[in-house]
Structure 1
Amino acid sequence: MRLDMNVTEPISIDIWSDIACPWCYIGKRNLENGLAAVASDEDAPQVSVTFHSFELSPDTPVDFDGDEIDFLAGHKGMPREQVQQMLDNVTGVAAKAGLEYRFDLLQHTNTVKAHELLHHAKAKGLQHEMEERLMSAYFTEGKHVGRVDDLVELAAEVGLDAAETREALESARHLDDVRADQAQARAYGIQGVPFFVIDGQYGISGAQPAEAFENVLRDLWAQRRGAVAASAE
């Protein structure tokens, strides 16, 4: 018998990430490329993606006095030359994912307000668009993503109401949502990002290649469909 696709729930992908994490943007793009690849399958997996908050450096000031090399050299205690080599490596990996990182323009900042904005966008059905806009602004355009004025401007670009967004950020309406995400990360034992939780049971750490996501999604979808077929017999 032919099974209708609607009888199977989508595979959930929950992603813990930070706007200021270069590997998170790479991992996001690799996931998207993996999703695009499986979308052409005859029996394409149905997938639901949700982003969650994780702050890599919550003690960072909103206006950091220095460039990315200054920050990482101080934060990690590494020589500037070694930091530059690390950034060059990340830039090369990002390029392979189709991203043009500009660490020479990047403005390091505290990201808690950006995470609050993502929860506001989620409530309005625009979380994915907001996540992409923030990461692009931060890593490729050198825009500031820590100040309310700048965040409101970016929010308006993806279709969010500017006045409503400003009120949400200035009142810290979604700060509890950010903290809840962080508490869930601790419960899962997540210590670094990006971290992908597939169907609430499989964890994938780091910016894995698109093929890794393709394989997991196809395997899980086949298991789902097999279980549905068995129950229908």
Structure 2
Amino acid sequence: MKVEIWSDVVCPFCYIGKRKFETALAQFSDKNNIEVIWKSYQLMPDMVTNPDKKVYQLVSEKHGIPLERSKAMHSQMTQTAKELGLVYNFDKAIPANTLKAHQLIQYAKTKGKQDQAEETLFRSYLTEGKNIDDVPTLLEIGTKIGLDKMELKMVLDKGTYISEVQADIYEAQQVGVRGVPFFVLDRKYAISGAQEPKEILASLQKAFVEWRKENPDSKLEIIHGAACTPDGECH
């Protein structure tokens, strides 16, 4: 059963949502029958990367709230993250456009490394204070998770996966995404926001029961005869 997750790597609640989803999935008895697909989403597509601006200031200006209130909000998110074993360093975070980061994720998806890409980008932005709009930084991240450095550079230089990023964002509009994280289960159920693991688990179980009815686990009746096996034995 497919679980699609729309997310942006500068979204603090998306990293929290990832951990809560992982906790729920670990408790799900049929987790081996779940295919997780990460989808691109940009909270601020017109964002201009500015290493000199603090996240507190950005949020204060964007939402028209006092700077101190912005700091208090981020402090609360830091505490919530800490309870899940995550470390948020908003003092170090660099406000960045995430288009290049999402291209890295799309490329990583073709190599079976989408989850590693998401995890590393979240940590790079929210914990380590790295500029995830910077190509050398993204090449370092890609190399860390086992991607080919030169191939990734070509992907980023040419914008190879921009259309895939844009397709995910357009698709988000079609399925009703109004904020991230947003989880879609078998295109029948959706979870908006970083819900608690027990809520996610209940939704997984409900969706999977219906999916299994439509996709029965059929077992073949086998008549055995002479055959060769992958280990080189023939009998």
Do these two structures clear the TM 0.5 threshold for a shared fold by scoring above it?
yes
**What does 1:60-99 align with in structure 2 at a 5 Å threshold?**
60-99=47-86
**What does 1:7-22 align with in structure 2 at a 5 Å threshold?**
11-22=1-12
Q: Residues 44 and 132 from structure 1, CA distance in 2 versus in 1: closer, same or farther, beyond 3 angstroms?
A: closer
Q: Is the 8 A contact 2:100 2:133 kept in 1?
A: yes
Q: How far did 1:223 drift?
A: 3.5
Provide, for residues 91-136 of structure 1, a one-character-per-residue CA deviation record: whole Å limited to 9, x for no partner: 1111122211111111111100000110010111111111100001
**What does 1:132-143 align with in structure 2 at a 5 Å threshold?**
132-143=119-130
**AA aligned opposite 1:150:** T
Residue 37 of structure 1 corresponds to 27
Q: Distance in 2 between matches of 1:24 and 1:183?
A: 19
SS at match of 2:82: helix
Is 1:212 matched with 2:202?
A: no
Q: How far did 1:228 drift?
A: 5.9
Q: Is the 8 A contact 1:29 1:97 kept in 2?
A: yes
Q: Distance in 2 between matches of 1:72 and 1:123?
A: 34
Residue 175 of structure 2 corresponds to 188
Q: Is the 8 A contact 2:191 2:200 kept in 1?
A: no
Pairwise CA RMSD:
1.9
Q: How far did 1:224 drift?
A: 3.9
Residue 108 of structure 1 corresponds to 95
Q: Residues 227 and 161 from structure 1, CA distance in 2 versus in 1: closer, same or farther, beyond 3 angstroms?
A: closer
Q: Distance in 2 between matches of 1:15 and 1:143?
A: 24
Provide, for residues 4-27 of structure 1, a one-character-per-residue CA deviation record: whole Å limited to 9, x for no partner: xxxxxxx21101110110000100
Q: Distance in 1 between matches of 2:200 and 2:103?
A: 28
TM-score calculated relative to the size of structure 2: 0.88
Q: Is the 8 A contact 1:45 1:218 kept in 2?
A: no
SS at match of 2:105: helix
Q: Residues 149 and 227 from structure 1, CA distance in 2 versus in 1: closer, same or farther, beyond 3 angstroms?
A: closer
Match among 18, 32, 39 for residue 28 of structure 1: 18
Q: Residues 225 and 15 from structure 1, CA distance in 2 versus in 1: closer, same or farther, beyond 3 angstroms?
A: closer
SS at match of 1:204: strand
Q: Which has the larger radius of gyration?
A: 2
Residue 184 of structure 2 corresponds to 197
**AA aligned opposite 2:76:** N
Q: How far did 1:35 drift?
A: 0.7
Q: How far did 1:63 drift?
A: 2.8
Q: Distance in 2 between matches of 1:44 and 1:173?
A: 32
Q: How far did 1:64 drift?
A: 4.3
| Higher alpha-carbon deviation: 58-67 or 93-102 | 58-67
Q: Which runs of 5+ in 2 are unaligned?
A: 220-235
Q: Is the 8 A contact 2:56 2:71 kept in 1?
A: yes
Aligned sequence identity (%)? 37
Q: How far did 1:65 drift?
A: 2.9
Q: Which has the bigger relative contact order, CA under 8 A and spacing at least 6?
A: 1
Q: Residues 173 and 215 from structure 1, CA distance in 2 versus in 1: closer, same or farther, beyond 3 angstroms?
A: same
Q: Is the 8 A contact 1:144 1:150 kept in 2?
A: yes
SS at match of 1:200: coil
Q: Distance in 2 between matches of 1:222 and 1:122?
A: 28
Q: Which runs of 5+ in 1 are unaligned?
A: 1-10
